[in-house]
Amino acid sequence: MIEVRKLVKRFGLKTVLRGLDFHVEPGEFVALLGPNGAGKTTFLRILASLSRPTLGEVIIANHRLPAQAGALRRRIGVVSHLPLLYGELTAEENLRFYGRMYAVPGLEARLAEVLDLVGLAARRRDLVRTFSRGMQQRLAIGRAVLHAPEVMLFDEPHTGLDQEACDMLEEVLREVAARGRTVVMTSHDLARVADLASRFDVLSNGVIVASVQRAQIQPDDLLGFYRQALRSA
Protein backbone atom coordinates (compact mmCIF):
# COMPACT_ATOMS: atom_id res chain seq x y z
CA MET A 1 0.00 0.00 0.00
CA ILE A 2 2.84 2.33 0.94
CA GLU A 3 6.28 1.90 -0.53
CA VAL A 4 9.06 4.32 0.34
CA ARG A 5 12.62 3.88 -0.87
CA LYS A 6 15.69 5.89 0.04
CA LEU A 7 13.66 8.91 0.99
CA VAL A 8 15.69 12.02 1.70
CA LYS A 9 14.23 15.32 2.84
CA ARG A 10 16.31 18.42 3.29
CA PHE A 11 15.28 21.84 4.51
CA GLY A 12 18.01 24.03 3.14
CA LEU A 13 21.24 22.58 4.46
CA LYS A 14 19.54 20.56 7.14
CA THR A 15 18.89 16.91 6.30
CA VAL A 16 15.91 15.57 8.22
CA LEU A 17 15.21 12.25 6.51
CA ARG A 18 18.33 10.31 5.51
CA GLY A 19 17.51 7.57 3.04
CA LEU A 20 14.46 6.20 4.80
CA ASP A 21 12.97 2.87 3.65
CA PHE A 22 9.41 2.03 4.63
CA HIS A 23 6.91 -0.52 3.47
CA VAL A 24 3.31 -1.02 4.55
CA GLU A 25 0.94 -3.79 3.46
CA PRO A 26 -2.74 -2.99 2.94
CA GLY A 27 -4.60 -3.25 6.23
CA GLU A 28 -1.50 -2.81 8.37
CA PHE A 29 -1.62 -0.43 11.30
CA VAL A 30 1.83 1.01 11.85
CA ALA A 31 2.72 2.96 14.96
CA LEU A 32 5.60 5.28 14.18
CA LEU A 33 7.59 5.92 17.32
CA GLY A 34 10.59 8.12 17.88
CA PRO A 35 11.99 10.99 19.93
CA ASN A 36 11.17 14.66 19.37
CA GLY A 37 12.72 15.97 16.19
CA ALA A 38 13.28 12.50 14.73
CA GLY A 39 11.41 13.44 11.55
CA LYS A 40 8.05 11.74 12.12
CA THR A 41 5.96 14.75 11.20
CA THR A 42 8.18 15.53 8.24
CA PHE A 43 7.74 11.97 7.00
CA LEU A 44 3.96 11.98 7.41
CA ARG A 45 3.74 15.32 5.59
CA ILE A 46 5.55 13.79 2.65
CA LEU A 47 3.22 10.78 2.66
CA ALA A 48 0.29 13.21 2.77
CA SER A 49 1.72 15.01 -0.30
CA LEU A 50 2.00 18.26 1.67
CA SER A 51 5.74 18.29 1.26
CA ARG A 52 7.93 17.22 -1.66
CA PRO A 53 10.61 14.57 -1.24
CA THR A 54 14.10 15.90 -1.94
CA LEU A 55 15.26 12.48 -3.18
CA GLY A 56 13.86 8.99 -3.22
CA GLU A 57 10.71 7.23 -4.16
CA VAL A 58 7.27 7.38 -2.55
CA ILE A 59 4.45 5.24 -3.92
CA ILE A 60 1.06 5.02 -2.22
CA ALA A 61 -1.80 2.93 -3.59
CA ASN A 62 0.03 2.75 -6.93
CA HIS A 63 0.37 6.52 -7.12
CA ARG A 64 3.82 7.98 -7.33
CA LEU A 65 4.43 11.17 -5.33
CA PRO A 66 4.61 13.99 -6.01
CA ALA A 67 3.62 13.54 -9.67
CA GLN A 68 0.33 11.70 -9.04
CA ALA A 69 -0.54 13.36 -5.77
CA GLY A 70 -3.78 14.81 -7.10
CA ALA A 71 -5.39 11.45 -7.72
CA LEU A 72 -4.13 10.08 -4.42
CA ARG A 73 -5.47 12.79 -2.12
CA ARG A 74 -9.04 11.49 -2.18
CA ARG A 75 -7.82 8.25 -0.65
CA ILE A 76 -5.95 9.63 2.33
CA GLY A 77 -7.16 11.14 5.59
CA VAL A 78 -4.86 13.22 7.74
CA VAL A 79 -4.84 14.31 11.36
CA SER A 80 -1.97 16.73 11.84
CA HIS A 81 -0.46 18.70 14.71
CA LEU A 82 -2.86 21.53 13.95
CA PRO A 83 -6.63 21.03 13.84
CA LEU A 84 -7.06 22.36 10.26
CA LEU A 85 -10.37 23.91 11.28
CA TYR A 86 -11.89 27.36 10.87
CA GLY A 87 -12.66 29.11 14.15
CA GLU A 88 -15.35 31.32 12.67
CA LEU A 89 -17.34 28.39 11.33
CA THR A 90 -19.41 25.95 13.37
CA ALA A 91 -18.44 22.30 13.72
CA GLU A 92 -21.03 21.34 11.16
CA GLU A 93 -20.01 24.08 8.72
CA ASN A 94 -16.37 23.02 8.94
CA LEU A 95 -17.25 19.46 8.03
CA ARG A 96 -19.66 20.59 5.34
CA PHE A 97 -16.95 22.73 3.78
CA TYR A 98 -14.45 19.88 3.70
CA GLY A 99 -17.16 17.49 2.56
CA ARG A 100 -17.73 19.72 -0.45
CA MET A 101 -14.03 19.93 -1.18
CA TYR A 102 -13.93 16.12 -1.24
CA ALA A 103 -17.27 15.82 -3.05
CA VAL A 104 -18.52 13.39 -0.39
CA PRO A 105 -21.72 11.72 -1.61
CA GLY A 106 -24.81 12.02 0.63
CA LEU A 107 -23.04 14.74 2.54
CA GLU A 108 -25.73 15.81 5.04
CA ALA A 109 -26.32 12.26 6.26
CA ARG A 110 -22.59 11.66 6.46
CA LEU A 111 -22.13 14.87 8.50
CA ALA A 112 -24.61 13.73 11.10
CA GLU A 113 -22.95 10.33 11.21
CA VAL A 114 -19.45 11.73 11.71
CA LEU A 115 -20.56 14.29 14.31
CA ASP A 116 -22.18 11.44 16.21
CA LEU A 117 -19.05 9.35 15.88
CA VAL A 118 -16.80 11.98 17.43
CA GLY A 119 -19.37 12.89 20.08
CA LEU A 120 -19.99 16.46 18.96
CA ALA A 121 -23.58 16.16 17.75
CA ALA A 122 -24.83 18.35 20.59
CA ARG A 123 -22.27 21.08 19.83
CA ARG A 124 -22.57 21.01 16.07
CA ARG A 125 -23.97 24.55 15.85
CA ASP A 126 -21.21 26.06 18.00
CA LEU A 127 -18.28 27.99 16.60
CA VAL A 128 -15.08 25.98 16.62
CA ARG A 129 -13.36 29.06 18.11
CA THR A 130 -15.26 28.34 21.33
CA PHE A 131 -14.20 24.67 21.44
CA SER A 132 -11.70 23.26 23.92
CA ARG A 133 -8.49 21.74 22.63
CA GLY A 134 -9.83 18.23 22.94
CA MET A 135 -13.09 19.08 21.21
CA GLN A 136 -11.14 20.57 18.33
CA GLN A 137 -9.08 17.41 18.15
CA ARG A 138 -12.26 15.33 18.04
CA LEU A 139 -13.53 17.39 15.16
CA ALA A 140 -10.15 17.14 13.44
CA ILE A 141 -10.52 13.37 13.59
CA GLY A 142 -14.02 13.65 12.16
CA ARG A 143 -12.64 15.82 9.39
CA ALA A 144 -10.00 13.20 8.57
CA VAL A 145 -12.44 10.27 8.27
CA LEU A 146 -15.26 12.22 6.61
CA HIS A 147 -14.52 10.98 3.09
CA ALA A 148 -13.85 7.40 4.22
CA PRO A 149 -10.21 7.32 3.14
CA GLU A 150 -8.30 4.08 2.59
CA VAL A 151 -5.07 5.33 4.10
CA MET A 152 -5.00 7.26 7.36
CA LEU A 153 -2.04 9.32 8.43
CA PHE A 154 -2.42 10.36 12.05
CA ASP A 155 0.18 12.58 13.71
CA GLU A 156 -0.15 12.31 17.48
CA PRO A 157 -3.93 12.13 17.38
CA HIS A 158 -4.18 11.55 21.14
CA THR A 159 -2.93 15.06 21.97
CA GLY A 160 -5.44 16.90 24.10
CA LEU A 161 -8.02 14.14 24.23
CA ASP A 162 -9.70 13.15 27.48
CA GLN A 163 -10.21 9.53 28.47
CA GLU A 164 -13.57 9.30 26.76
CA ALA A 165 -12.27 10.89 23.57
CA CYS A 166 -9.29 8.54 23.55
CA ASP A 167 -11.71 5.65 23.72
CA MET A 168 -13.65 7.22 20.87
CA LEU A 169 -10.46 7.59 18.83
CA GLU A 170 -9.52 4.01 19.54
CA GLU A 171 -12.95 2.88 18.46
CA VAL A 172 -12.56 4.85 15.25
CA LEU A 173 -9.11 3.40 14.65
CA ARG A 174 -10.22 -0.16 15.37
CA GLU A 175 -13.14 0.20 13.03
CA VAL A 176 -10.86 1.63 10.40
CA ALA A 177 -8.45 -1.25 10.83
CA ALA A 178 -11.29 -3.76 10.77
CA ARG A 179 -12.33 -2.40 7.40
CA GLY A 180 -8.95 -3.27 6.02
CA ARG A 181 -7.80 0.31 5.83
CA THR A 182 -4.20 1.21 6.33
CA VAL A 183 -3.05 3.42 9.19
CA VAL A 184 0.24 5.10 9.95
CA MET A 185 0.14 6.85 13.30
CA THR A 186 2.82 8.63 15.28
CA SER A 187 2.59 8.68 19.03
CA HIS A 188 4.64 9.20 22.16
CA ASP A 189 2.21 7.18 24.22
CA LEU A 190 3.56 3.63 24.04
CA ALA A 191 0.96 2.24 26.41
CA ARG A 192 -1.82 3.49 24.19
CA VAL A 193 -0.50 2.23 20.87
CA ALA A 194 0.67 -1.08 22.36
CA ASP A 195 -2.62 -2.87 21.79
CA LEU A 196 -3.78 -0.75 18.89
CA ALA A 197 -1.14 -1.10 16.20
CA SER A 198 -0.19 -4.23 14.32
CA ARG A 199 3.39 -3.12 13.86
CA PHE A 200 5.79 -0.78 15.62
CA ASP A 201 8.49 1.15 13.78
CA VAL A 202 11.06 3.35 15.45
CA LEU A 203 12.22 6.41 13.57
CA SER A 204 15.39 8.02 14.77
CA ASN A 205 17.68 10.51 13.09
CA GLY A 206 15.78 10.30 9.82
CA VAL A 207 15.78 6.53 9.30
CA ILE A 208 13.73 3.60 10.55
CA VAL A 209 16.06 1.93 13.03
CA ALA A 210 13.83 -0.93 14.16
CA SER A 211 10.56 -2.57 13.34
CA VAL A 212 8.57 -5.30 15.06
CA GLN A 213 5.22 -7.02 14.50
CA ARG A 214 2.85 -7.02 17.43
CA ALA A 215 2.63 -10.78 17.27
CA GLN A 216 6.33 -10.93 18.03
CA ILE A 217 6.31 -8.80 21.14
CA GLN A 218 4.55 -8.66 24.50
CA PRO A 219 2.85 -5.30 25.16
CA ASP A 220 4.97 -4.92 28.31
CA ASP A 221 8.17 -5.31 26.31
CA LEU A 222 7.41 -2.43 23.96
CA LEU A 223 9.13 0.19 26.06
CA GLY A 224 12.21 -2.02 26.29
CA PHE A 225 12.17 -2.57 22.55
CA TYR A 226 11.89 1.17 21.94
CA ARG A 227 14.76 2.03 24.29
CA GLN A 228 16.92 -0.71 22.82
CA ALA A 229 16.21 0.56 19.27
CA LEU A 230 17.28 4.09 20.18
CA ARG A 231 20.40 2.90 21.98
CA SER A 232 21.61 0.77 19.11
CA ALA A 233 20.84 3.50 16.53
Partner 1 sequence: MDGAPVVSHAKTPGLLEGMRLYLRSIAALVWKDLAAELRSRELLSAMLVFALLVILIFNFALELDTRTRATVTAGVLWVTFAFAGTLGLNRSMAMEKDRGCLDGLLLAPVDRSAIYFGKAIGNLIFMILVEVIVLPIYSVLYNINLFQGGLLLVILLGSLGYVAVGTLLSAMAVQTRTRDILLPILLFPVAIPVLIAAVKSSTGFLQGLEMAEISPWLNLLLVYDVVFIAVAFMVFDYVVEE
Coil, strand, or helix at residue 222? Answer: helix
Amino acid at 139: L
Task: State the Cα–Cα distance between residues 218 and 28, nearest whole angstrom.
Answer: 18
Amino acid at 161: L
Q: Which stretch binds partner 1 (CB under 8 A): 49-57, 194-202, 204-212, 219-227?
A: 49-57
Coil, strand, or helix at residue 28? Answer: coil
Shortest spacing between CB 104 and partner 1, in angstroms: 7
Taking CB under 8 A as the criterion, which residues in 19-48 touch partner 1?
A: 45, 48
Across the chain, how many H-helices and E-strands are there?
8, 10
Neighbouring CB atoms inside 10 A of 193's CB total: 24
Does residue 83 interact with partner 1 by CB under 8 A?
yes
Partner whose binding site includes residue 39, from Mg ion, partner 1, ligand ATP, none (CB under 5 to 8 Å by kind): ligand ATP
Partner whose binding site includes residue 36, from ligand ATP, partner 1, Mg ion, none (CB under 5 to 8 Å by kind): ligand ATP
Binding to ligand ATP by CB under 6 A, coded x per residue (else -) over 40-69, reads xxx---------------------------
**In 159-207, alpha helices (H):** 163-178, 190-194
Which helix (H) or strand (E) segment is 24 a member of? strand 14-24
Partner whose binding site includes residue 50, from ligand ATP, Mg ion, partner 1, none (CB under 5 to 8 Å by kind): partner 1
Neighbouring CB atoms inside 10 A of 40's CB total: 23
Taking CB under 5 A as the criterion, which residues in 36-55 touch Mg ion?
A: 41
Does residue 55 interact with partner 1 by CB under 8 A?
no
Partner whose binding site includes residue 168, from partner 1, Mg ion, ligand ATP, none (CB under 5 to 8 Å by kind): none
Partner whose binding site includes residue 76, from Mg ion, ligand ATP, partner 1, none (CB under 5 to 8 Å by kind): partner 1
Does residue 187 interact with ligand ATP by CB under 6 A?
no
The answer to whether the beta carbons of residues 79 and 140 sit under 8 Å apart is yes
User: 199-204 and 207-213: which strand pairing?
Assistant: antiparallel
The DSSP annotation for 66-97 comes to TTTHHHHGGGEEEE-SS----TTSBHHHHHHH
Q: Footprint of partner 1 on this chain (CB under 8 A)? A: 45, 48-52, 66, 70-71, 73-76, 78, 80-89, 93, 97-98, 100-105, 110, 113, 117, 127, 143, 145, 147-148, 150, 172, 175-176, 179-181
Q: Footprint of Mg ion on this chain (CB under 5 A)? A: 41
